[in-house]
Amino acid sequence: MKNEYSSELIAEIKRLYPHDQALHKAAENHMYGIGRILDDRSNTNFSINVILEANSLEELKAQARNSKERVDLYIKWFQETKQWNK
């Protein structure tokens, strides 16, 4: 199996990290090391300040959904790359 990310994974990376051109390029070049970046950024812990500074419950829910999507993206990356060494 060729070590390449799916087009769906690359599109999801670009959607969730729209301003991170370096991450986009790393994904397009199928660099394995992006897993570390995705893992570091998939933190689901909210600081007390984030919770207290939210203007509405909907804003807080949106942040929680985004965090979950980032965790799901890391899991998707892991699932794809675990096949690379086989």
Query: Per-residue pLDDT tens for 25-83?
Result: 999 999 988 999 999 988 778 889 888 999 999 999 998 999 999 999 999 999 999 87
pLDDT exceeds 80 at position 84: no
Q: Which domain holds residue 57?
A: 7-81
Domain tally, the chain: 1
pLDDT of residue 73: 96
36: closest CA among 45, 23, 18, 17?
A: 23
pLDDT of residue 10: 97
Does 2 fall in a domain?
Answer: no
pLDDT of residue 78: 93
The CB density around residue 9, as the number of other CB atoms within 10 Å, is 20
Does 18 fall in a domain?
Answer: yes
pLDDT of residue 60: 92
CA–CA separation, 62 vs 55, rounded Å?
A: 12
Could you tell me the CA-to-CA distances from 48 to 22, 56, 59, 66 in Å, in that order?
30, 15, 15, 17
Does 16 fall in a domain?
Answer: yes
Phi, then psi, of 78 in degrees rounded to 5: -60, -45
